[in-house]
Structure 1
Amino acid sequence: MSSKTYPTSELESQIFGSGIKQLLSIDEVGRGAIAGPVAVGVTVTSAETFKTPWPAKLCDSKLMSEKQREESFQPVADWVDQWAIGMASAVEIDQIGITKALALAAERAIEKLSFEPSGARILLDGSHNWLGNRSYGVPVAVRPNADRDCASVAAASVLAKVTRDRLMVELAKEFPGFGFEGHKGYASEAHIEAVRRLRPSIQHRVTWLDRILGIDS
């Protein structure tokens, strides 16, 4: 953890300097899992938000320990103006594919928020605009590694990761034996062995199991 890269507000400052009033910053978690939903976090910030320092330990959720993410969750939630999480289930991922499922999850998060589209901008982590036509008419700026480099996107990353992880812990009680509380739906050796032994649950992305792991549903 000693080589962490901490985010700045450089890009956000440029965006607000161009006249944008509200920034919707978006990151996804769970894309590479073989079980559980994909989750998309959206934070809303303004120039006023950045007059208050963001939590000192905030960075890309992938670079934080589970304990650090949990400790940062409430301070991050309190720092942003608004936030929301949207999810798309394993069944939906199987039905429409991961890219459309991500866009659907993002739409579900965005629709919970209050903003004026004409004065807003979306800052999306990634290499392409995977929102498609689900941006509510808000222009989209795409930035690779935004979850690492931009404080508002790092905040979305932490909020989405903790929310999804907590859900996977609850799903472990409903679907015992798979170890969701530990690997959070990712393809650990123990998880794959459990799927082979118990057969996939409704929380598993069965098209992925078949294609990637050769496990029939």
Structure 2
Amino acid sequence: MSSKTFPSLNLERELWAQGARFIIGMDEVGRGAIAGPVAVGVALLDSQDQRVETAWPSNLKDSKLLSEKARNEILAPVQTWVSGFAVGMATANEIDTKGIVQALALSAGRALDSLLQDASLRQAIARDGAIIILDGSHNWLGAKASGIPVIVRTKADRDCVSVAAASVISKVERDNLMIGLASSFGEYGFDGHKGYASEAHIQAIRTTGPSSEHRHTWLTKILGDGQLSFEE
């Protein structure tokens, strides 16, 4: 396996060695889309779970490096391997009203709230410690980290198995939501581009106008002067 492609437990092991029992990998998906929600996934690894070191799927990697078919196939093994997982989302309207950074924090807070519903897990984290590994270059979590320290790492979705797991879980859940929306908004092709700015998607908006699932504040420039960097 190339270390440039496949993640490892190296950072997680370092953090465990520093005394934290739990690692929470966190990654977002949908930040650059022009329709649909932004989603944040969390994947929990417990150092006391023996499966953590031996049972992660050998083909697990950053969701962006996997085909849609491969992501769907690996989802169940990933969910079985991690000690817990959750996905939080913020709607297109929330993105419009709050801005993308606050929407990301809102999504993360919802994901953490869902993960920490289990009282015994909350007690274990309070007693034994946890650290969040956040993919990216800056901490957009703010107060939404539920009191848990945050480590920010560029390319963590590529390099850290906990974050790679979170990336797959959040990507598949958001993709499935967009596929479901296609039945109500068939003219936009959400099941194909998943809300990103493909050329066909932009043409559909020009022809039909934006839907309630579009990020209207993001479309002003697109619909006004036609400037757009297409993303497949």
TM-score range, shorter chain: over 0.9
Q: Tell me if the contact between 1:196 and 1:215 (Cα under 8 Å) persists in the aligned partners.
A: no
Contact 1:209 1:215 in 2 (8 A): no
Name the residue aligned to 1:93: 95
Local SS of the residue matching 1:174:
coil
Q: Is the 8 A contact 2:3 2:159 kept in 1?
A: no
CA distance in 1 between counterparts of 2:186 and 2:78 reads 32
Q: Any conservation in 2 of the 1:16–1:46 contact (CA below 8 Å)?
A: no
Shift of 1:51: 2.6
The range that moved more, 190-199 or 206-215, is 206-215
TM-score when normalising by structure 1: 0.95
Give the structure 2 partner of residue 32 of structure 1: 32
Q: Structure 2: which amino acid aligns with 1:105?
A: S
Query: How far did residue 176 of structure 1 move?
Result: 1.5
Instruction: Give the alignment of 1:59-98 within 5 angstroms.
Output: 59-98=61-100
**By how many angstroms is 1:199 displaced?**
0.4
Unmatched 5+ residue regions in structure 1? none
Gap runs ≥5 in structure 2:
117-121, 227-232
Aligned counterpart for 2:192 among listed residues 170, 175, 182: 182
Contact 1:70/1:162 (8 A) holds in 2 = yes
The residue number in structure 2 matching 1:155 is: 165
Three-state SS of the structure 2 residue aligned to 1:129 is coil
User: Which consecutive aligned stretches of 4+ in structure 1 deviate over 6 angstroms post-superposition?
Assistant: none
User: Which secondary structure state, in structure 1, belongs to the residue aligned with residue 187 of structure 2?
Assistant: coil
The CA RMSD over aligned residues, in Å, is 1.7
2: CA distance, partners of 1:194 / 1:67: 26
| Matching of residue 169 in structure 1 with residue 171 in structure 2 | no
Q: Give the secondary-structure state (helix, strand or coil) at the position aligned to 1:83.
A: strand
Distance 1:215-1:53 versus aligned 2 partners, 3 A rule: farther
| Distance of 1:215 and 1:93 partners within structure 2 | 22
Deviations 1:66-123 (A, max 9, x none): 0000000000000000000000000000001001000000000000123324611111
What SS is found at the alignment partner of 2:42? strand
Percent of counterpart pairs with the same letter?
57
Q: Please identify which structure carries the higher helix content.
A: 2
User: Given the alignment of the two structures, is residue 130 of structure 1 paired with residue 140 of structure 2, yes or no?
Assistant: yes
- Count of aligned pairs: 215
Counterpart contact for 2:4–2:159, Cα < 8 Å: no
CA deviation after TM superposition for structure 1 residue 213, in Å:
4.8
Local SS of the residue matching 1:86: strand
Give the structure 2 partner of residue 50 of structure 1: 52
Q: Does 2:144 correspond to 1:142? A: no
Instruction: Give secondary structure in 2 for the equivalent of 1:112.
Output: helix
SS in 2 for 1:84: strand
The two structures have a TM-score, normalised by structure 2, of 0.89
